[in-house]
Structures are given as structure tokens and as C-alpha cells.
Amino acid sequence: AGRATPRALTDVETAGRAAYALRGNDRGRLTVAAPGLYPHMWSWDAAFIAIGLARLSTDRALTELETLLSSQWRNGMVPHIVFSDGDASYEPGPQRWACRELSADAPSGPATSGLMQPPVHGVAVRRVLDAARRAGRAEERAAGDRIRALWPALLAWHRYLAERRDPEGRGLLTIYHGWESGLDNSPRWDEPYSAVVPAAAFVPFQRADVHALGSVGGVAAQRPTDGDYARYQWLIEELRRARYDDARARDTLSFLVADVFSSAIFAAAAEDLAGVADELRLPGAEELRGQADRFRRGVAATTDDDGFAADLDLRTGRTLRTRTIAGFAPLLCGGLPAARRRRLVDTLFSPDWCGHPGLAVALPPSTSPSSDAFDPARYWRGPQWPPMTWLLIWGLERSGEPEAAAVLRASALDQLSDGLFAEYYHPFTGEALGARSQSWTAAVALDLIL
Ligand code: 9WN
């Protein structure tokens, strides 16, 4: 597969523009996920942003993580949104969540949502420490001190995940909402969402996403549907009724799924943090390695003969075998026998994925073009998302597949050379879709280039 257009910018120019885009989204102690569309801090975006910022300033990268973790809940959960002041345009906003009114665990500072997102943060801490070391002694010492100060929060976050989100010890994280997976309307969740039936009467809402992107043509076809949104909002209503309490949520929510992709990220992050604990002589290394082992095994246990992973619907007990990018979860955390891992890498480059002849750039689409659920323009149902490409490159590098990683890296740089830092890309036309100057897209560009 060739690319639709030749590389527009050199890597150095792309990196310069990426730094400029991140600077434009910097509100001092937090970087908004995207101007206009997402004017607040998002949890997993913040981790990717820290990974990118580490290439420019480990000081600013650590500030990002500190801001996020200062909004940690008392039970250890790191919220998926930290609302920044002065922009009420995102829906659902603080009033809809009403976290402080409903839960004694909600933090006292800025308002937050009552959900979480995939725990990429440990990976970010590892990368920031590495970048600080490359920068010199003084920077390494400063970063070490600040990571030490963050350590109790990081351990509490991982403990929350291991205990409250996997009480049965399956080695898979339970999520309460598609938003918690970060892959909101992925076909992964079609079956479990079919059991989410919004009650006729609940507080009406206005969609903010379609409105924010209104100037761009055909936007509705690139976002989740109104039916999806009614379910998203209804689940928040169910969570409010459970007062954001994990035990009540588990008993009452109409959506309850074991998310294999988040689980793989958790295993990898735990492994990374264990290494940091050893190096900085911090407590908890054994506990973190235990989490890494348990979740690596949990992920591997869901795989088919080709190593392709599956989610689990905890309400019905059904395994959800969908053809989405989440199936490559074992490439992030390891744990497959070598032959199976090879088959999984072969699958990644097969015509069902990166080897599809129609692709503008040979990168994994969020859903396989061979799947009935594939929709090339609609959000997580087909488009390519640069942070997901980054995760796969990083996973392939750490799981002993450097050639495969290099191939994806070259294609990723082709895609990012448009300098737009789009939220997602049309896999067949190469067109930029969704928000522009999306922070995590700029951040992964910086990390890949510098
Ligand atoms: C809901 C911020 C976030 C990403 C998610 C992406 C999208 C939010 C939305 O934007 O989700 O959390 O409003 O659609 O799906 O992965 O973290 O960039």
C-alpha cells in the first residue's frame, strides 16, 4: 500500500509544529486534549502528552502528571476528565456528573468525571525518567524527586485497579462505560451496549461534539450516533444512582465488561513502574510485578490460536470476539509463546489489517476493513488513531519485534507529516478527521521524531 500524498513536511518541521500545537493547548499546569472539542484534561491523553512533552521538557511533562494525579479520588481512581475552569462547552459537564454531591471519594479541587481511562500513566513515568537521564544529572535528580513525591498516588491508582476493578482476580480490568476503554464506539462494545436501554425520562442533553466540529462537512457521519450518545448518558445516570461506588456499580450497571486492551496497558505500566521502583529504591516493586504477571496472564488467556485477544461481557459471560485493534493487546504486554506472537504480528501486517490494499498509509485501522462493523470515517469503527499506532510501535519494540516496529514507525511519520495532528485519519483517503491540533497526536509525533 502506498500513501495518498507524498510526505508534506520534513520530520523536523513536523516536530516543530507539534511543539507549537502543544504550546497552544497548554493552560499552564494542564494541556487541554484539543482546542474547542475537548477543552479539559483527559486522563490517558495526559499520559501521552507527558510522553511527548518529555522530549521538550521533563519539568513540564511531570507537571502534567502532577496535575492529573492531584485530582485523584480518595479510593485511588484517576478520573477520566479533570475539568478546567472557564469552559462549559463540553457535555457531559460537571453538573451532570455531580461527583462531589454523590460520592465522598471525589476530590475537593477541580471538578472531575466519575469514570477512569486506560492506565498509561506508569508508561509515561518510565519515559519521563528515561528522558531526564538523557538530559543530564541535575534533570535526573529533579525528576527522581518528583516521581518519589508522586509515588503514593501511583501505587494507590494501581491498587485501585487491581482490587476494585478486578475483584475476582481474573487479570482483566472491569469497565463501567465504553468511555473507560478510550475506544468509545468501537464494535467491541456493540453487544454489551445492546443491553443498555435508556429510560424514557432522564435529564435531556445537547451533544457538544457535533456542535464543536460544526464547520467541517459530514461531521455526523464521523462521530458516534445519537443512539450511542443516549446510552452513554444513560450509563452516567446509572453510575450516579450507584453513587460512583464500585460494589454498587458492579451489582447494578447494565454495562459491565472486562476490557482486554486496558488490561494489557495496565500490565505493561505495572512492569514499567516496577522497574522505576527498583531504580529509585521506591516501595512496591513486588506488588507491581504481581500486577504485571496477573494481567499479562489474564490477557493471554483470552487469545485465539493466532494470539488475537478478546473482551468479556461480564453481564452475560460471553466472550466478545470482534475484529478491532484491541485484539493486538498481547503485543503491548507480552505473555504469548513466541510462535503465537509471530502469528499475531503476521496478522497485523496481513490484508485484514495494515496490508489491506486500500489503505492510504499502511497503519492499523481501529477496526479491520474485513469486519462487517467497519466504517472508515466513524470514530473508533475504522479510522486510524496515531496514539494507538504509537502503542503498537512501543509494544513491538519492547516485545522483541524491532523490524515490525520500524515499519510502523515509518508509516506513522508519513501520516503525521501533514502537520495537522488530527484526532483520527480516514484509512482509505488519508483525510484528517475530527479535531485538529489534538494534543496526544502532536505528542506522539514528538516522541516518534525526537
Ligand atoms: C469521551 C479526549 C478523548 C479521548 C477518547 C476519545 C474521546 C471523549 C468524547 O476523546 O472521548 O471520553 O467526548 O468522545 O474517544 O479516547 O481520550 O481526546
Residue 425 domain flag: yes
Do β-strands 81-82 and 173-175 pair in parallel, antiparallel, or remain unpaired? unpaired
CA distance 101 to 36: 28
182 CA to centre of ligand 1 in angstroms: 6
Residue 1 domain flag: no
Smallest CA separation from ligand 1 atom 5, residue:
182
pTM over 0.90: yes
114 CA to centre of ligand 1 in angstroms: 14
The number of folded domains in the chain is 1
Residue 334 domain flag: yes
Instruction: Give the domain CATH number at 205.
Output: 1.50.10.10
Q: What is the ipTM of this complex?
A: 0.99
Q: For the chain, give the number of residues.
A: 450
Residue 126 domain flag: yes
User: At 140, which amino acid appears?
Assistant: E
- Asked if residue 185 lies in contact with residue 380, where contact means CB atoms within 8 angstroms, the answer is yes
CA distance 244 to 160: 14
Smallest CA separation from ligand 1 atom 4, residue:
182
34 CA to centre of ligand 1 in angstroms: 10
423 is catalytic: yes
In the prediction, which pLDDT does 1 show? 39
In the prediction, which pLDDT does 205 show? 84
pLDDT along the chain (450 residues), means of 10: 66 98 97 95 99 98 98 98 90 96 97 98 98 98 98 99 98 98 98 94 81 77 94 96 98 98 99 98 98 98 98 98 98 97 98 98 98 98 98 96 97 97 98 97 98
Residue 2 domain flag: no
CA distance 166 to 260: 12
Q: Which atom, in ligand 1's list, is nearest to the CA of 34?
A: 18
184 is catalytic: yes
CA distance 236 to 233: 5
146 CA to centre of ligand 1 in angstroms: 28
**Quick one: 329 exposed, middle or buried, by C-beta within 10 A (0-12, 13-18, 19+)?**
buried
- Pocket of ligand 1 from Cβ distances under 6 Å: 33, 38, 42, 44-45, 80, 179, 182, 184, 209
Write down the residue that cell numbers 524527586 correspond to: 145
Residue 352 domain flag: yes
Residue 5 domain flag: no
Mutate which of 22, 38, 219 to test ligand 1's pocket (most atoms within 8 Å of Cβ)? 38
Mutate which of 44, 179, 223, 325 to test ligand 1's pocket (most atoms within 8 Å of Cβ)? 179
Residue 110 is part of which domain span?
A: 11-449
Per the rule left: phi > 0, alpha: psi between -120 and 50, beta: everything else, 449 is alpha
Residue 4 domain flag: no
